[in-house]
A and B are shown apart, each in its own frame.
Chain A
Amino acid sequence: MKLLLKDGNVINPLNKTINIQDILIVDGKVAAIGRELAASLDLDLSRSTSGTGFQPVVFNDEETIKDACPTISVINAKGKYVVPGLIDMHVHLREPGFEEKETIATGTQAAARGGFTGIVCMPNTEPPADNQAVISFIQQVAQKTGVVNVFPVGTITQGRAGKELSEMASLAAQGVVAFSDDGAPVVNAKLMRHAMEYAKMLDLPVISHCEEPALAAQGMMHEGFTSTMLGLKGIPAAAEEVMVARDIILANLTGCHLHIAHVSTAGSVELVRAAKEKGIKVTCEVTPHHFTLTDEAVSSYDPQTKVNPPLRSKADVVALQAGLKDGTIDVIATDHAPHTQEEKELEFELAPFGMVGLETAVGLVWTKLVIPGILTSCEAVAKMTVNPARILNLKKGLIEIGAEADITVIDPELTCVVKPEEFASKGRNTPFSGWSLKGLPVATIVGGEVKWIK
């Protein structure tokens, strides 16, 4: 099986280079990278096929590609970015336990449509992914029904209850890429210390959902003028920052790699920046909704804007964008959190937290960061490829000869209106419905196979 990506602007996020190149994929691996590969293939093909020679074809749909295989498929990537397969290191796939919200099948389809070739799934399933059996189940279902790579995260504590450690070594043996009680913070600092010590021994990162629950106090949205006027309980920025500070101190104590999930405040960015300067092993991520929207989006009491951590102030959004620019924020991850329509139809205070993100992420990154010049396309791509891959010790994130051919094609000129009803995800809960986004994925290739093409 051969696939040729022709004339694309190939981004190497590590060297920060963009070159017009062809990429030849053979048997799922990158076989050649260079100019005019098509020409050299010509001879090759005339020998292996019936002598008709090489005919470049633009394939528009999966059917055509399937028809054309196993000879060769060609994707004309002229004017488009060809980038390492995007990795979303913060996804809620909901299976097992909440299949009405999402399944591994639908979640990975949404990932493919969003340009992601790999996703990291959080362990707040039912039962939670706190033992080998659940991880094994996720891996098997992903193998059978998934269309992109799925990397599971194991819990830090049993049942995500924050009381006793999970069997972290067994989880590691089963192949988890990190530990997290995401959605629930580990409130007990001593337990968090031990979790970090243990994770360090296993050479895996701990992903911390930083939220001091007593300060968050059942808040619904960012504490500020908007929450005051709406009469909704606020979650102060301090609720996040107190725990970011604590966990950085514990990372310093233990030497564990701490990754802070979904930073949302200026203060968190500042804490991480200072910690990095001191050489503490800390990384962090931001979501597209946090660098795009402010708490004013909540003004209509639209439950689609209810998310945790909450949409913050304008000053926080500016600080997050600055943190992306100067490298304090390593990763862009979606915190894709699908919920049913019924749940999101409830009153604001009753509706669950969370929004889907897989199918709007690239569009928001391009529209809000790349086009306005906050990040270069190379920088943006690095935060969705090589950076998360390095944090999670994945042999992914670069297009190299011999590497698994996980590749995403992005059309920087393509503009589309967000239509949740067309999402592959079961979750339609997005505040971006009707937004016009520019710069979108057009093809997702996983292990050399075209899993989605526009």
Chain B
Amino acid sequence: MALKNESMSLKKKHLLDMQSIAPEEIKLILDTASSMKEILFRSIKKVPTLRGRTIANVFYEPSTRTRVSFELAAKYLSADCINVSAAASSIVKGESLVDTARTLRAMGADVIVLRHPYSGAPYHLAKLVSACVINAGDGTHEHPTQALLDLFTVQEAKGELAALKIAIVGDILHSRVARSNILGFTKMGATVRICGPTTMIPVAIERTGAHLYTQVEEALDGVDVVMMLRLQLERQQQGLFPSVREYTRLYGLDQQRLALAKPDALVMHPGPLNRGVEITSAVADSAQSVINTQVTNGVAVRMALLYLLAGRFTGGQE
């Protein structure tokens, strides 16, 4: 397999966030992902690059999409992949992440992919294991691999990330996808607009450089990318929005609103979708939608990350 940029490598051992990642590192990951994507369209989608390496998917939150994406990425690179899923109930006091980490270290996993309901858990794990840790979503903190696949998807369609305008619409407060994307797109020179009801906008978010909107029509005006976030319906009981009906009326993306964006604007969504709530089916399934491409690119980006991290570092037994 011929991969570009083989001489370059990531400076980091772990991928924990977009906050501390340098633009050159993002570029390297995206370039590597391009090479990986070619593999996905071969008749035999398997290369021996990571043969003999072990990837552990440790998921403390139910997730099909991200876990399967990592699993496929590992398998296409010939790594051995194990899935450890723990019910959220088992992380209450007593069965701690510390113990899980020690177990995994003793078993010699090279890469640990962690999805965890608590913000910061991957940092905790990274301190305790010798393996590379990839954050597959931690609480309401970050979801860096999602941001990288989103960056990749936009770059693939638009060529350049710099100077693009991206609108992220929805529950920014609880969205790790939003945080990682704000950081990622801003680092690559794009302008990020965030939009949602004031109750779902985190304090001081504009200090990231993102521009704040509460009117979706203004936020969408002339943008290159519209990224809709999933509305967690239980937020209504918390008093964050009065009703789904009103939310959809104010922030839902339909054809009419989409027309405010540039004619060739991309429609994105990290999934899973609430069709008819934050996005209409007509928009989600339109020619402008790259929602399915995001899924395909997710595998390519995760292959790139596994290659760049596991290819260089090994966990090894204690």
Give the interface segment out of A33-41, A223-231, A419-427: A223-231
B195 shortest CB reach to chain A, Å: 16
Out of B19, B120, B138, B203, which one reaches A234, CB within 8 Å?
Answer: B203
B22 shortest CB reach to chain A, Å: 17
Which A330-360 residues sit within 8 Å CB-CB of chain B? Answer: 343, 345-350
Out of A224, A345, A348, which one reaches B119, CB within 8 Å?
Answer: A348
Chain A residues whose C-beta falls within 8 Å of the C-beta of B121 in the assembled complex: 347
Interface centre among B98, B119, B139 (most CB of A within 10 A): B119
Chain B residues whose C-beta falls within 8 Å of the C-beta of A347 in the assembled complex: 91, 96-97, 116, 118, 120-121, 124
Interface centre among A229, A343, A346, A350 (most CB of B within 10 A): A229
Flag whether A301 is at the interface (Cβ < 8 A). yes
Inter-chain contact B203/A231, CB cutoff 8 Å: no
Inter-chain contact B119/A349, CB cutoff 8 Å: yes
Flag whether B230 is at the interface (Cβ < 8 A). no
Out of B93, B138, B203, B208, which one reaches A227, CB within 8 Å?
Answer: B203
Scoring A residues 305 to 349 as 1 if CB is less than 8 Å from chain B, else 0, what string do you get?
Answer: 000000000000000000000000000000000000001011111
Chain B residues whose C-beta falls within 8 Å of the C-beta of A223 in the assembled complex: 203
Out of A228, A230, A236, which one reaches B120, CB within 8 Å?
Answer: A230
Out of A225, A229, A231, A300, which one reaches B138, CB within 8 Å?
Answer: A231
Inter-chain contact B91/A231, CB cutoff 8 Å: no
Task: Give the distance in Å from the alpha carbon of A223 to the alpha carbon of B92 in the complex.
Answer: 25
Inter-chain contact A345/B19, CB cutoff 8 Å: no
Inter-chain contact A228/B93, CB cutoff 8 Å: no
Residue count of chain A within 8 Å CB distance of chain B: 21
Task: Give the distance in Å from the alpha carbon of A118 to the alpha carbon of B303 in the complex.
Answer: 62
A310 shortest CB reach to chain B, Å: 13
> Majority SS of interface residues in chain A?
loop
Inter-chain contact B179/A300, CB cutoff 8 Å: no
Task: Give the distance in Å from the alpha carbon of A454 to the alpha carbon of B96 in the complex.
Answer: 39
Chain B residues whose C-beta falls within 8 Å of the C-beta of A349 in the assembled complex: 118-120, 139
Which A38-52 residues sit within 8 Å CB-CB of chain B? Answer: none
From known contacts A301-B124, A345-B96, infer whether A228 and B118 are also in contact, taking CB-CB under 8 Å. no
Flag whether B1 is at the interface (Cβ < 8 A). no
Flag whether A297 is at the interface (Cβ < 8 A). no
Chain A residues whose C-beta falls within 8 Å of the C-beta of B141 in the assembled complex: 230-232
Scoring B residues 160 to 187 as 1 if CB is less than 8 Å from chain A, else 0, what string do you get?
Answer: 0000000000000000100100000000
From known contacts A345-B96, A345-B98, infer whether A229 and B19 are also in contact, taking CB-CB under 8 Å. yes
Task: Give the distance in Å from the alpha carbon of A223 to the alpha carbon of B121 in the complex.
Answer: 20
Inter-chain contact A350/B93, CB cutoff 8 Å: yes
Chain A residues whose C-beta falls within 8 Å of the C-beta of B98 in the assembled complex: 345-346
Chain A residues whose C-beta falls within 8 Å of the C-beta of B179 in the assembled complex: 228-229, 231
Inter-chain contact A301/B120, CB cutoff 8 Å: yes
A328 shortest CB reach to chain B, Å: 26
Residue of A nearest to B118 (CB): A349
Chain A residues whose C-beta falls within 8 Å of the C-beta of B116 in the assembled complex: 347
Task: Give the distance in Å from the alpha carbon of A227 to the alpha carbon of B119 in the complex.
Answer: 10
Task: Give the distance in Å from the alpha carbon of A224 to the alpha carbon of B207 in the complex.
Answer: 11
A306 shortest CB reach to chain B, Å: 11
Inter-chain contact B140/A346, CB cutoff 8 Å: no
Scoring A residues 220 to 258 as 1 if CB is less than 8 Å from chain B, else 0, what string do you get?
Answer: 000111011111111010000000000000000000000
B101 shortest CB reach to chain A, Å: 11
Task: Give the distance in Å from the alpha carbon of A232 to the alpha carbon of B140 in the complex.
Answer: 7
From known contacts A346-B93, A347-B124, A349-B139, infer whether A228 and B203 are also in contact, taking CB-CB under 8 Å. yes
Chain B residues whose C-beta falls within 8 Å of the C-beta of A227 in the assembled complex: 202-203
Out of B19, B91, B118, B142, which one reaches A348, CB within 8 Å?
Answer: B118
Task: Give the distance in Å from the alpha carbon of A233 to the alpha carbon of B174 in the complex.
Answer: 9
Residue of A nearest to B174 (CB): A231
Residue of A nearest to B208 (CB): A229
Inter-chain contact A230/B119, CB cutoff 8 Å: yes
Interface centre among B97, B124, B208 (most CB of A within 10 A): B124
Interface centre among B91, B98, B118, B141 (most CB of A within 10 A): B118
Residue of B nearest to A343 (CB): B93
Flag whether B39 is at the interface (Cβ < 8 A). no
Inter-chain contact B139/A231, CB cutoff 8 Å: yes
Flag whether B205 is at the interface (Cβ < 8 A). yes
From known contacts A223-B203, A301-B124, A347-B97, infer whether A232 and B91 are also in contact, taking CB-CB under 8 Å. no
Inter-chain contact A224/B176, CB cutoff 8 Å: no
Task: Give the distance in Å from the alpha carbon of A229 to the alpha carbon of B207 in the complex.
Answer: 10
Chain A residues whose C-beta falls within 8 Å of the C-beta of B118 in the assembled complex: 347-350
Task: Give the distance in Å from the alpha carbon of A231 to the alpha carbon of B204 in the complex.
Answer: 12
Inter-chain contact A228/B96, CB cutoff 8 Å: no
Flag whether B241 is at the interface (Cβ < 8 A). no
Which B207-244 residues sit within 8 Å CB-CB of chain A? Answer: 207-208
Chain A residues whose C-beta falls within 8 Å of the C-beta of B203 in the assembled complex: 223-225, 227-228, 234, 236
Task: Give the distance in Å from the alpha carbon of A347 to the alpha carbon of B124 in the complex.
Answer: 7
Nearest 8 CB-CB pairings of A with B: A231-B141, A301-B120, A225-B204, A231-B140, A231-B119, A228-B202, A349-B118, A347-B118
Between A and B, 5 residue pairs with Cβ closer than 8 Å are: A225-B207, A231-B139, A347-B118, A348-B120, A350-B91
> Which A residues are within 8 Å of any B CB, using their own CB?
223-225, 227-234, 236, 300-301, 343, 345-350
> Which B residues are within 8 Å of any A CB, using their own CB?
19, 91-93, 96-98, 116, 118-121, 123-124, 138-142, 176, 179, 202-205, 207-208
